[in-house]
Amino acid sequence: MNILITGVHGFVGSNLVKALCAKHTVYGVDIVAQHKPGLAKTYSWNDLNENRIPAMDVIIHLAAVTPDVAVRCIRKPDFTVNLTLTQRVFNYFLASDSKKFIFFSSVKAVANSVGDEVLDEEAIPWPVEAFGETKLKEERYIMGKFNMDDESWKRVYILRPCLIHGPGNKGYLYLLYNMVNKGIPWPLGAFGNKRSFTSMDNLSFIIEGLVSGHVASGIYHIGDDQTISTNELIEVICESQGRKARIWRLPKYFIRSVAVIGDLFCLPLNRVRFKKPTDTYVVNNSKIKRALDIESLPVNARKGLLDTFNSFKEESDK
């Protein structure tokens, strides 16, 4: 098939090109037109606006402003451009002969925290941060323009992945890896939790299933089959580095106090950064597995994380 990916030069887009190019012809839309192995051509946003892009079977919409975990609390990113981009790309899809539209939303469009619950597609969306609020607006725009129950020849998939990781990722896990790589002990060992992650290999497997299969339109939560605690995550990082994990179980009240001070003085450890590694956030992926008629995803969560951290090590060793 001919597949068009917006934001093709980003982390997820780059990995999808590698995964899809063996079976399909992959094109991109991005603000830069650099060459990428496996990519037939990159078009500009003006090409999209002026209908200079050839017919595509599938459109995968990735392009978006995302939260930057590397910055402190001073600069707040503007996510409103995401809604404008999604409106533009989805309207293009509706007017085109493309058969399938795959939109990357986020679990943050539903909830920033789930406590002891397991997040599934039946949950009532209640985002509390700007990124999630904008993603929910994008979802509602799409569903306002397209009836998900329509059995027409077009199909629309709204994907809500939890944290995606893989080679080239420069987000939260990359920062965590670099901290542990410096020999800094992990100070939050007293906080037990469980989290869902999405390995790039499992995500690519799901995208191939949607592209090539006969899956009904709908909203699908995406995550690995297994959950993992942050303490286990630190152990996997240390395994990739060939060292023993150093996990400190400092008193919870002390860590919470430091995080509050971090908010006041914009320190590296603040309540926003404290929340992600200590919260429990579990995503139910049963619906997408039923849709693909599979019992399990191909890559174990721990194995996928180890592969990611090994890729970080290979990059740092160059």
Residue 69's pLDDT band (cuts 50, 70, 90)? low
Nearest to 112 by CA among 255, 276, 270, 262: 276
199: β partners:
165
Instruction: With a cut of 80, say whether residue 303 has pLDDT above it.
Output: yes
Nearest to 102 by CA among 3, 20, 24: 3
List the structure tokens of 315.
């990059």
Mean pLDDT of 253-282: 84
Mean pLDDT of 9-19: 96
Mean pLDDT of 119-147: 96
pTM of the model: 0.93
Residue 270's pLDDT band (cuts 50, 70, 90)? confident
For 64-317, CATH gives 3.40.50.720
Tell me the average pLDDT of the chain.
92
pLDDT the model gives residue 47: 93
List the structure tokens of 261.
């001070």
How far apart are alpha carbons 8 and 14 in whole angstroms?
A: 6
Instruction: With a cut of 90, say whether residue 131 has pLDDT above it.
Output: yes
Domain segments of the chain as ranges:
64-317
Instruction: With a cut of 60, say whether residue 102 has pLDDT above it.
Output: yes
pLDDT the model gives residue 257: 92
pLDDT the model gives residue 282: 97
List the structure tokens of 5.
């990916």
pLDDT the model gives residue 249: 94
Instruction: With a cut of 50, say whether residue 280 has pLDDT above it.
Output: yes
Mean pLDDT of 4-33: 95
Exposed/middle/buried for 114, CB within 10 Å: 0-12, 13-18, 19+? middle
Mean pLDDT of 208-235: 97
More confident residue, 79 or 72: 79
pLDDT the model gives residue 72: 47
Instruction: With a cut of 80, say whether residue 172 has pLDDT above it.
Output: yes
pLDDT the model gives residue 77: 73
- Cβ neighbors of 154 (< 8 A, separation 6 or more) are 94, 98, 99, 100, 101, 146
226-260: per-residue pLDDT in tens?
Answer: 999 999 999 999 999 999 999 999 999 999 998 88
pLDDT the model gives residue 32: 82
59: β partners:
4, 101
pLDDT the model gives residue 268: 67
Residue 271's pLDDT band (cuts 50, 70, 90)? confident
pLDDT the model gives residue 74: 47
pLDDT the model gives residue 135: 97
21-54: per-residue pLDDT in tens?
Answer: 999 999 999 998 778 899 999 999 999 989 899 9
185-202: per-residue pLDDT in tens?
Answer: 999 999 999 999 999 999
Helix residue ranges per DSSP H, the chain = 11-20, 45-49, 80-95, 130-145, 172-181, 200-212, 230-241, 252-265, 271-278, 286-292, 301-317
